[in-house]
Structure 1
Amino acid sequence: MKLFDVYSLFAINIVKGKGTRVWDDNDQEYLDLYGGHAVISIGHCHPHYVKVLERQLCNLGFYSNSVINGLQEKVADRLGRVSGYDDYQLFLVNSGAEANENALKLASFHTGRTRVLAAGHAFHGRTSLAVEATDNPKIVAPINNNGHTTFLPLNDLPAWERELAKGDVCAVIIEAIQGVGGIRLATPEFAQGLAEACRKHGTVLICDEIQCGYGRSGKFFAHQWLGIKPDLITVAKGIGNGFPMGGVLISPRFVPVKGQLGTTFGGNHLACAAALAVLDVFNKEHLVDNAHEVGEYLIGKLKELQETEPHILEVRGRGLMIGVDLDVPHKDVRVPLIHQEHCFTGCAGTNVLRLLPPLCLTKADADLFVSKFKHILDTL
């Protein structure tokens, strides 16, 4: 049997990681400014994380949600306190797409409506409802194309208010910082006006914090820069530092009904151990503050570089979620960064280099990346 060939791969086999570095099977070291697509939050193979998972696996790796799982309760308690949402409820799942899928279902159960508003260039996942709210026709199969979603320009508040006033919108789903959309930031004025319009028209507001959340922006959630409090918040990626996990933070005004939602693997013992280890490291190493401090430092250095490098058109982002607009295709920079400078980065669209490093990135790491980046730009 062969693998189903749907991924465009770099011919590099990564076999080891530590902190902000990874190594291939030839023992070549790479600086990781990609974080496995924003998944690695506390750094590769953090010793505390490894120890906690080993201990849990020796005790119990999995049992179903038909019995009490005290680790789930610990995750809910600690996540509520660290995020500022201790009055919310938590439903644990396996991935970001599954989190958005369940958030949209909850919104529809709650309102009895079926229409969704999402932003142009949004990415919310690849499963049925999540992909329908994703602005990329190439990945929406005919069976998913059910006409539930209206896409509107990010930050165009009047356009969203007009649609909400029709009274048939089940949910609004937004990313406070668009990832796949190219590190586009929602403005506070837009977000606050949107939240008010949702309240006025009985629409559920969902913030997708799967990529921009969990400390990456320099606050625990990126929407906390915007002065809003959504009804539902979806998380994944950094919650488990690579162990598959996701969740939905649910406003207290949603009353749970037995059997309304469900999952086989969601919130399993090993996943919860991973999530608790991540929160341990967040607390001990102050990684949210580090994301803010080092992120602002890196953004500043990139803007300085922009003054002398004509290939850089714009630098934008918050914390350690940064986009660099280029006047050349990102592959012209990303490929030599990997093969010549041994540095991983992400991308968006055609011309955006996307930086999503582990939140333990240091200023020395940032300086090293800028020097590698400058070297490649100088060769173009």
Structure 2
Amino acid sequence: MTDATTAPLTHEWLGRYESALLGVFGRPQLVLEHGDGAWVWDVDGRRYLDLVGGLAVNALGHNHPALVSAVSKQAGQLVHVSNFFTTPSQVELAERILGLSGAPEGSAVFFCNSGTEAIEAAVKLARRTGRTGIVAAEGAFHGRTTGALALTHKPAYREPFEPLLPGVVHLPWGDVEALERSVGPDTSAVVLEPIQGEGGVVPAAPEYLQAARRVATEAGALLVLDEIQTGVGRTGSWFACQQAGVVPDAMTLAKGLGGGLPIGALVTFGPEVTGLLGAGQHGSTFGGNPLACAAGLAVLDTIESEGLLEHVRAVGEHLETRVTALDDPRVTGVRGRGLLRAVTLAQEWAPAVAAHGRDAGLILNPVAPDAIRLAPPLVVTAEQLDLFVDALPGLLDRAGEEGR
């Protein structure tokens, strides 16, 4: 195990961290210094295969030349202007998102700085319908600010800060009949993730998303799809909802869009929805700043030019095939799509597997006690994923020994 003797600089930096930063994240696992592709190095020179990708943020991995070039060039021109003005990169990125999403004429983009802020914008959009009810799902995670937190389901996140935004109900995930019973004339929006990320990488069946679209339309409510984690190529298509053939009324983006720079977006579909928010009704000082938008353009351009959508589908299937071929009774399956996956376990070994994986040079995320989430850079190779699969039986051996 890593300790102060084997990692003295890590120990020093963590001591300084705990003396200077608010402890909302607990004690960090590593102190990272630099990266390249799917690899990162800590301050003591240890190398790790990054299979979490900054929680699905580092779409192009670390130190990708296209991203570095775009950000460096933009930093030498303009880093920030107020929202009294716009910039070419802001306009171009909005146009690209609308084109890739298949949004109809009259659609629009609002830029912010994070996924939580995109959800907040979606909540305000929904409120402009004149209704107050919002339907979300059990297991949902939509952010931690007070509006977004009302849509997030986990009681441990919610209860310390209640009362939250009223009118939000959480329905059983995947239950069409519950949607049909609960979405009605008081519902402003149905808000769903195509794949619940923090909920354990649990995909929605295409039929469920299609039913949500039908039910929302019949009730006159908005269908808001949270593509913060699933969007921008993560599942092998530009947006996960495209795989179900569903067009939402609004969509939230963040994470991979900036490739590591903070950016979020609310996308409105069609003039009727776009018209719900007018001048002065929402805003963001840093939203759509030229540096983040230049990064976003570089991410989209690179995904397209390097054929990463096809790559994500291929290596995601390779990962599932390899894990299944282990035929290890301690592994119960692989769920998810593309490069948003969970390896599910027969017992609650995930935290121990992640800890031993870190000692072995693998960064893993125990998203649930019995599930390991993988959200590596979209540029990860099949050979790199094989390093994890080959190590998994040994990691499970060590995790099992601890439980005896």
Is the pair's TM-score, using the shorter chain for normalization, greater than 0.5? yes
Match runs of 1:201-280 below 5 Å:
201-252=219-270, 253-254=272-273, 255=275, 256-280=277-301
Comparing 238-247 and 77-86, the one that deviates more: 77-86
Question: What CA deviation, in whole Å up to 9, does each residue of 1:219-271 have, x standing for no partner?
Answer: 11111121211000000000001100000110122214111211100000111
Give the structure 2 partner of residue 116 of structure 1.
Answer: 134
Q: Secondary structure at the match of 1:172?
A: strand
Give the structure 2 partner of residue 14 of structure 1.
Answer: 32
Contact 1:216/1:319 (8 A) holds in 2: yes
TM-score where L is the length of structure 1: 0.95
Note if 1:47 corresponds to 2:65.
Answer: yes
Note if 1:335 corresponds to 2:355.
Answer: yes
For residue 143 of structure 1, report the CA deviation from its aligned partner: 4.7
For residue 72 of structure 1, report the CA deviation from its aligned partner: 1.1
For residue 142 of structure 1, report the CA deviation from its aligned partner: 3.5
Candidates 315, 324, 347, aligned match of 2:366: 347
Candidates 75, 87, 90, aligned match of 1:69: 87
For residue 375 of structure 1, report the CA deviation from its aligned partner: 2.3
Distance 1:218 1:34 in 2: 17
- Number of aligned residue pairs: 375
Question: How big is the alpha-carbon RMSD for the aligned residues of Structure 1 and Structure 2?
Answer: 1.4
Taking a change above 3 Å as real, the CA distance of residues 136 and 233 of structure 1, as seen in their structure-2 partners, is same
Distance 1:118 1:304 in 2: 36
Match runs of 1:52-201 below 5 Å:
52-85=70-103, 87=105, 88-109=107-128, 111-140=129-158, 141-165=160-184, 167-201=185-219
Distance 1:146 1:90 in 2: 25
Distance 2:162 2:71 in 1: 39
Q: Secondary structure at the match of 1:6?
A: helix
Distance 1:135 1:376 in 2: 31
Q: Secondary structure at the match of 1:75?
A: helix
Match runs of 1:24-43 below 5 Å:
24-43=42-61
Contact 1:16/1:22 (8 A) holds in 2: yes
Distance 1:146 1:248 in 2: 20
Taking a change above 3 Å as real, the CA distance of residues 365 and 334 of structure 1, as seen in their structure-2 partners, is same
Distance 2:378 2:163 in 1: 35
The answer for unaligned runs of 5 or more in structure 2 is 1-18
- Report percent identity of matched pairs: 39
Distance 1:123 1:263 in 2: 23
Contact 2:115/2:252 (8 A) holds in 1: yes
Give the structure 2 partner of residue 311 of structure 1.
Answer: 330
Contact 2:104/2:269 (8 A) holds in 1: no
Distance 2:104 2:36 in 1: 33
Distance 2:235 2:163 in 1: 32
Match runs of 1:349-364 below 5 Å:
349-364=368-383
Give the structure 1 partner of residue 312 of structure 2.
Answer: 291
Distance 1:336 1:84 in 2: 44
- Report the AA paired with residue 313 of structure 1: T
Taking a change above 3 Å as real, the CA distance of residues 360 and 28 of structure 1, as seen in their structure-2 partners, is same
Distance 1:142 1:11 in 2: 27
Distance 2:86 2:72 in 1: 21
- Report the AA paired with residue 321 of structure 2: G
Q: Secondary structure at the match of 2:24?
A: coil
Distance 2:351 2:213 in 1: 38
For residue 11 of structure 1, report the CA deviation from its aligned partner: 4.0
